[in-house]
């Protein structure tokens, strides 16, 4: 089954599952083989960032795979973070495109509001930054534009002056922060903004032994029995996110794990009770794992 898509508020479609080039690949320039493998296995959406310092590696993988998977079938995202003084969203994106060997990206995100609100990031305040993002879209450098790690306050600051609404907001989402991000997700729905998640498997890999674990294991066993094929705990949490219409960014250096992620769309759906049980267990232990999350939560 091909990876499903979600509609964006600008009329385009975005694959609901993305391969992240941060975390395991942060600053790595030797990840080309793994990225090529992800393309060949079936990932079409690749989530990058200027701050990850590996856009050239992603570009090389795209180039090496173009005979089997053309650029038109891929969805490439990157994120703006002012890495040098005076750098704007447009000048930074032009540098990214050169590294990626692309004429445009499918999605360009403002990486974090703190880069433009604490006086250290440069590039002006959020409203000025958003104007520059809109310019990138008008000029065809980015087909869609959005934000990352934005809370309600940050989003509304942009929305009140935007000619083009953010299409996506990417943030840490898993059961241990679910109760805290629900108000933000409601704002997303109000403005047609797709919620994108990273760190979705954190309860399993960063906080093993927590209250979510036994619930996920019970759901995993039920799904495996229903499907008649192996189901992993990671697939349970990815399925939970997808059933909330949340775009999932995940990653791995292992080919078998990458295949598992792509195959999640074939896994039977969780019941309404199973969804509730996972969320109830998550509410027992609030915990975030990424530093940018605090800026998002402060803005809720």
Task: Report the pLDDT value the prediction gives residue 1, as an integer from 0 to 100.
Answer: 72
Alpha helices, H only, the chain: 32-41, 55-64, 89-100, 126-138, 152-159, 178-191, 202-205, 212-227, 233-243, 255-262, 272-282, 293-298
pLDDT at 294: 66
DSSP state of 11: S
Burial class (CB in 10 A: 0-12, 13-18, 19+), 70: exposed
Q: How do residues 154-194 score in pLDDT, each as one tens digit?
A: 999 999 999 999 999 999 999 999 999 999 999 999 999 99
Domain-wise residue ranges, the chain: 11-298
What are the C-alpha distances in Å from 177 to residues 209, 232, 245? 17, 22, 17
Q: Is 52 a catalytic residue?
A: yes
The pair of structure tokens assigned to 228 is 């008649």
pLDDT of residue 26: 64
Residues that constitute the known binding site: 111
pLDDT tens digit at each of 300 positions of the chain:
789 999 999 999 999 999 999 877 766 657 899 999 999 999 999 999 999 999 999 999 999 999 999 999 999 999 999 888 889 999 999 999 999 999 999 999 999 998 887 544 444 689 999 999 999 999 999 999 999 999 999 999 999 999 999 999 999 999 999 999 999 999 999 999 999 999 999 999 999 999 999 999 999 999 999 999 999 999 999 999 999 999 999 999 999 999 999 999 999 999 999 999 999 999 999 999 987 776 566 666
The pLDDT value given to residue 82:
85
Catalytic residue among 52, 176, 198, 261: 52
- What digits encode the pLDDT tens for the residues 10-44? 999 999 999 999 877 766 657 899 999 999 999 99
Q: What is the pLDDT of residue 184?
A: 95
Where do we find the tokens 């032009």?
A: 94
Query: From the annotation, which residues make up the binding site for substrate?
Result: 111
Rg (CA), the chain: 19
pTM above 0.75, yes or no: yes
> For residue 67, how many other CB atoms are within 10 A of its CB?
7
Q: Which CATH number fits domain 11-298: 3.30.70.1350, 3.40.50.2300, 3.20.20.100, 3.40.50.1970?
A: 3.20.20.100
- What does the pLDDT read at residue 123? 47
């Amino acid at each position: 089954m091909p990876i499903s898509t979600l509609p964006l508020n600008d009329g385009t479609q975005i694959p609901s599952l993305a391969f992240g080039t941060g975390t395991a690949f942060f600053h790595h320039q030797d990840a080309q083989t793994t990225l090529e493998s992800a393309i060949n296995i079936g990932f079409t959406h690749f989530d990058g960032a200027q701050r990850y310092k590996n856009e050239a590696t992603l570009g090389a993988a795209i180039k090496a795979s173009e005979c089997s998977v053309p650029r038109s079938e891929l969805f490439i995202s990157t994120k703006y973070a002012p890495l040098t003084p005076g750098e704007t969203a447009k000048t930074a994106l032009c540098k990214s495109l050169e590294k990626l060997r692309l004429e445009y990206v499918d999605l360009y995100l403002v990486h974090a509001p703190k880069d433009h609100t604490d006086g250290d990031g440069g590039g002006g305040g959020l409203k000025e930054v958003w104007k520059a993002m809109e310019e990138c879209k008008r000029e065809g450098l980015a087909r869609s534009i959005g934000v990352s790690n934005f809370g309600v306050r940050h989003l509304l600051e942009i929305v009140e002056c935007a000619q083009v609404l953010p299409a996506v907001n990417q943030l840490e989402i898993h059961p241990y922060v679910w109760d805290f991000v629900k108000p933000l997700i409601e704002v997303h729905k109000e403005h047609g903004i797709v919620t994108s998640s990273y760190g979705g498997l954190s309860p399993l890999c960063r906080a093993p032994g927590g209250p979510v674990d036994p619930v996920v294991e019970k759901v995993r066993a039920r799904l495996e029995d229903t499907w008649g094929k192996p189901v992993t705990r990671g697939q349970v949490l990815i399925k939970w996110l997808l059933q909330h219409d949340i775009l999932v960014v995940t990653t791995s250096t292992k080919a078998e794990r990458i295949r598992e992620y792509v195959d999640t769309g074939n896994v039977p759906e969780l019941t309404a009770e199973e969804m509730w049980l996972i969320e109830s267990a998550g509410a027992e232990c609030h915990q975030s794992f990424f530093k940018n999350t605090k800026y998002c939560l402060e803005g809720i």
